[in-house]
Structure 1
Amino acid sequence: MTDADFDAKVVKATGPVLAVFRAEWSAPCRALDPILADVAKEYSGRLTVTRLDIDQSPQTPPKYNVTVIPTLYVFKGGKIVATRIGPATKDNVVNLVKPHL
């Protein structure tokens, strides 16, 4: 996902979206990648999981007050309905998204 398609893929999405603000150089962000892949597979059809690299897409993070990575936001109906900042386990991610499915 990029600055150019963030609104279309996240804000205007019809279902819940887990938007993860990350950077490739961040070890906690890289550690989260296989967890996000598992969650995306497990909740396929009910949840969209997206990732935005803050270095390649620098315009979107300030719009959502992202100052720490990883930052995980659950969007539903164009609004942020849940937030987690910092490293996360699979249980953390599931507990974040599950109430909004």
Structure 2
Amino acid sequence: MRSLRMSVVVIVTDSSFGNDVLKAKLPVLVAFRAEWSGVCRALDPVLADIAKDFGGRLVVARLDIDESPQTGPRYNVTAIPTLHVFKGGAIVATRVGPASKANVAELVKPHL
């Protein structure tokens, strides 16, 4: 992972996804997003807050679908933003579209 601190949002790519997400010891919230999307950019502060609030219990990651185009289709990402919670290498929860901090917290809490 690009950062050792767990209270930050980690950037993952096609090449790092296996190690950073699928082999992670903690649950991982992955935001599949694109920089050109206003809805995705609006989610960035929410992701930062979730990373801070759940640091040490959850990894929060972002994957840009334009820079890393192979991973999204592998996990049925057809719209952005798509939030997938991975645990033990498998998707255990999903949310598509805009989300508030409360929405994201509700998505991840059962999997901590």
- TM-score, length-scaled by structure 2: 0.89
Matched, 1:34 2:25: no
* Equivalent residue, structure 2, for 1:71: 82
CA distance in 2: counterparts of 1:23 and 1:95, whole angstroms: 23
Q: Which runs of 5+ in 1 are unaligned?
A: none
1:65 to partner: Cα distance: 0.8
1:10-89 correspondence runs (5 A): 10-89=21-100
CA distance in 1: counterparts of 2:101 and 2:53, whole angstroms: 11
Cα deviation 1:23-46 (Å, max 9, x = unaligned): 000011000000000000010000
Q: After the TM superposition, list the runs of 4 or more consecutive aligned residues in structure 1 that deviate by more than 6 angstroms.
A: none
Structure 1 residue identity aligned to 2:18:
D
1:15 to partner: Cα distance: 1.0
CA distance in 2: counterparts of 1:18 and 1:40, whole angstroms: 9
CA distance in 2: counterparts of 1:64 and 1:75, whole angstroms: 11
CA distance in 2: counterparts of 1:40 and 1:79, whole angstroms: 20
CA distance in 1: counterparts of 2:32 and 2:94, whole angstroms: 11
Pairs aligned (count) = 101
Cα deviation 1:33-68 (Å, max 9, x = unaligned): 000000000100000000000000001011001010
Q: Percent identity at matched positions?
A: 69
1:94 alignment partner, SS class:
helix
